[in-house]
């Protein structure tokens, strides 16, 4: 094989790899001890038939709609826990030190959403209670989807966390 042909083969080989869509994977790691973390908020994933007040912000409408499939559309209690060493950081919406920061646990279905900080940046992950990565099980469980809210809505979700102290709307 001449050199040019060799390079071409090599290129096609690499291109084939790049073309394969990357499997969604959690970036935040699973905090095994999350059940020992203090609860900062008891909230809900609203059911699919929830009627929101007409003046509900677009952000909240999107948040509700994104997870209305949870528990077959019946909704679920949602428990928010924060790493014991990060309570003060959470109250001020950061800046955050490195490591797992907060979890939101959708209780009915046992989904553990994880936000972790690495070098000050928020990264995300979705696990079941046993710590199995489930981010590939639904488009809304993929880290890029988490980013589309948590990192994009910078006026509401500051430094990657959305709930406290801004969104009282959610607490009953
Ligand atoms: C459509 C918007 C939206 C998307 C997408 C989203 N979240 Fe959230 N997230 C919220 C809102 C709103 C809250 C606050 C809920 C409350 O206060 O009841 C929240 C709360 C949280 C919390 C509790 C800590 C905090 O205050 O931020 C974690 C952890 C979390 N989300 C992780 C994730 C992960 C992981 C994903 C992706 C699998 C994700 N979120 C996708 C809107 C979103």
**What spacing in Å lies between the alpha carbon of 103 and ligand 1's midpoint?**
9
Ranges of each domain in the chain: 34-163
- State whether residue 116 is helix, strand or coil: strand
Residue to substitute in 124, 162, 166, 171 for testing ligand 1 pocket (most ligand atoms within 8 angstroms of CB): 162
Distance CA 14, CA 85 (A): 44
Q: For residue 95, say if its preceding peptide bond is cis, omega within 30 degrees of 0.
A: yes
155 pLDDT band (50/70/90 cuts)? confident
Mean pLDDT lowest for which of 10-14, 59-63, 161-165? Answer: 10-14
Nearest-atom number in ligand 1 for the CA of 102 is 29
What would the mean pLDDT of 25-41 be, rounded to a whole number? 97
24 pLDDT band (50/70/90 cuts)? confident
What would the mean pLDDT of 121-142 be, rounded to a whole number? 97
Q: Tell me which residue has its CA closest to atom 22 in ligand 1.
A: 104
From edge to edge, which strands make up the β-sheet containing 121-128?
39-45, 76-82, 99-106, 111-118, 121-128
Residue 166 has what pLDDT?
43
Q: Tell me which residue has its CA closest to atom 39 in ligand 1.
A: 146
Residue 56 has what pLDDT?
87
């Amino acid at each position: 094989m001449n050199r040019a042909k060799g390079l071409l083969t090599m290129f096609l080989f690499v291109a084939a790899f790049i073309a394969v869509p990357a499997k969604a994977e959690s970036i935040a790691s699973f905090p095994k001890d999350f059940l020992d973390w203090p609860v900062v908020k008891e909230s809900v994933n609203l059911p699919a038939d929830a009627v929101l007040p007409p003046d509900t912000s677009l952000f909240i409408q999107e948040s509700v709609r994104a997870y209305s499939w949870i528990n077959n559309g019946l909704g679920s209690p949602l428990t928010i826990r924060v790493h014991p060493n990060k309570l003060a950081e959470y109250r001020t919406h950061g800046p955050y030190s490195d490591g797992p920061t907060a979890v939101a646990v959708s209780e009915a279905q046992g989904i553990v959403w994880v936000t972790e900080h690495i070098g000050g940046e928020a990264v995300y992950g979705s696990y079941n209670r046993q710590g199995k990565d489930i981010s590939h099980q639904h488009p809304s469980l993929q880290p890029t989807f988490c980013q589309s809210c948590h990192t994009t809505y910078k006026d509401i979700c500051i430094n990657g966390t959305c709930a406290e102290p801004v969104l009282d709307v959610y607490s009953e």
